[in-house]
């Protein structure tokens, strides 16, 4: 049962950011496992179970990232990540296609609760835009929902050139290379980060994001041909 993160969690994340070396990590590995990785696993499993219990139609796999950085990215950011996250998304079968993904990420400065839609190829976002053009009213309803909630913000890199004409309400959605809807929170005194109520906060955030998740799931994707 998740009981909350601790000041030790923050100390480790700042520590690995400032000392991104193998010798420092090995010296503090037990701290990493005890204060960050194991609580993250417990938190993810608890949130996953709550969502699946409330929504029998959902199928969500849990993945908790590891701290070891991809070897291809080591030269850009050191051997280890200074942040950790878990994600919940539907199982992927066959050729890889995008899936809307719930996420929780803890960083040294803050934590974030959100829903992401990340595509490895531009053609998938083209199919996303086609859905908007076919059924703009559905996304307009969701866009208004987001605009009424100051806690969540639309994020993601945008194309410099317009990809087409849509309503003013949908422009922030239409021109994205990728997108996420996230709520960032801090570690001030009394923060939910340090107690079991964090699981409730995340689950409630994911519940609020569920209509957006279902909209993304409706996108009819044509898988890229294998090479």
H or E element in which residue 182 lies: strand 179-185
Q: Domains plus CATH for the chain?
A: 7-217 (3.30.930.20)
User: Each residue of 80-91: pLDDT tens digit?
Assistant: 999 999 999 998
Look at residue 76 in the predicted model and tell me its pLDDT.
Answer: 58
* Three-class DSSP category at 35: helix
Q: How are the residues of the chain apportioned to helix, strand and coil, as percentages rounded to the nearest 5?
A: 45, 15, 40
Mean pLDDT of 127-146: 95
Question: Are the C-beta atoms of residues 111 and 193 closer than 8 Å to each other?
Answer: yes
User: Each residue of 4-63: pLDDT tens digit?
Assistant: 999 999 999 999 999 999 999 999 999 999 999 999 999 999 999 999 999 999 999 999
Look at residue 131 in the predicted model and tell me its pLDDT.
Answer: 93
User: Each residue of 66-85: pLDDT tens digit?
Assistant: 999 976 555 556 899 999 99
Residue recorded with tokens 């294998």: 226
Question: Are the C-beta atoms of residues 116 and 99 closer than 8 Å to each other?
Answer: no
Q: Which residues contact 26 (CB under 8 A, 6 or more apart)?
A: none
φ/ψ of residue 199, rounded to 5: -60, -40
């Amino acid at each position: 049962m998740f009981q909350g993160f601790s000041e030790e969690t923050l100390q480790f994340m700042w520590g690995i950011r400032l000392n991104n070396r193998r010798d420092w990590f090995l010296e503090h590995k037990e701290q990493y496992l005890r204060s960050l990785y194991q609580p993250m696993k417990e938190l993810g499993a608890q949130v996953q179970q709550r969502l699946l219990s409330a929504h029998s139609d959902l199928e969500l796999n849990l993945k908790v990232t590891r701290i070891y950085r991809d070897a291809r990215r080591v030269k850009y950011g050191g051997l280890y990540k200074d942040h950790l996250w878990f994600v919940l998304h539907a199982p992927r079968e066959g050729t890889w296609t995008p899936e809307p993904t719930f996420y929780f990420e803890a960083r040294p400065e803050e934590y974030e609760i959100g829903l992401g839609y990340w595509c490895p190829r531009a053609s998938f976002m083209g199919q996303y835009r086609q859905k908007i053009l076919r059924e703009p009213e559905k996304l307009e309803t969701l866009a208004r929902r987001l605009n009424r909630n100051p806690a969540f913000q639309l994020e993601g890199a945008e194309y410099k050139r317009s990809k087409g004409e849509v309503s003013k309400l949908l422009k922030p959605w239409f021109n994205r290379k990728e997108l996420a809807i996230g709520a960032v929170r801090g570690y001030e005194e009394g923060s939910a980060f340090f107690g079991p109520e964090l699981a409730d906060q995340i689950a409630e955030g994911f519940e609020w994001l569920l209509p957006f998740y279902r909209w993304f799931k409706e996108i009819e994707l044509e898988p890229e041909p294998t090479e």
